[in-house]
Amino acid sequence: MADNCCQSCGACCATYRVSFYCGEMDEYPGGIVPTGLVEQINATMACMKGTGSQPPRCVALHGEIGKSVSCAIYEFRPSPCREFAPLAAVGRGDDACADARRRHGLPPL
């Protein structure tokens, strides 16, 4: 959708560690997140590669933050990505969205 301001932002993908239950990985029944893009945290938790580093940047994020971005695995993204700032795509961010945008020199939505 062309009006989705998230497609010109990407700040959240380069601010926070994206941690989730290992069962979301595609190597498990019902999992959809590509295992090759995941780092194991412990026996039950994983995170998207790049988000556990400093500065964080998800390996699936393509493009320039604040200009034009896309998620290479959008349909297969983990639950934290699906649940983050649920109204941001229609121009209504929350505190976490505003913080991520501030860290990248962008105004809040």
What distance in Å separates the CA atoms of residue 40 and residue 4, rounded to the nearest whole number?
31
Q: Could you report the per-residue pLDDT of 50-97, keeping only the tens digit for each? A: 999 999 999 999 999 999 999 999 999 999 999 999 888 888 899 999
Cβ pair 17, 47 in contact under 8 A: yes
Region 12-22 average pLDDT: 97
Is 108 among the domain residues?
A: no
Structural domain count, the chain:
1
Is 109 among the domain residues?
A: no
CA separation, residue 30 to residues 18, 22, 25, 41, 103 (Å): 19, 11, 8, 20, 35
Is 63 among the domain residues?
A: yes
| Residue numbers of the domain that contains 61 | 5-103
Task: Tell me the whole-structure pTM to 2 decimals.
Answer: 0.91
Is 89 among the domain residues?
A: yes
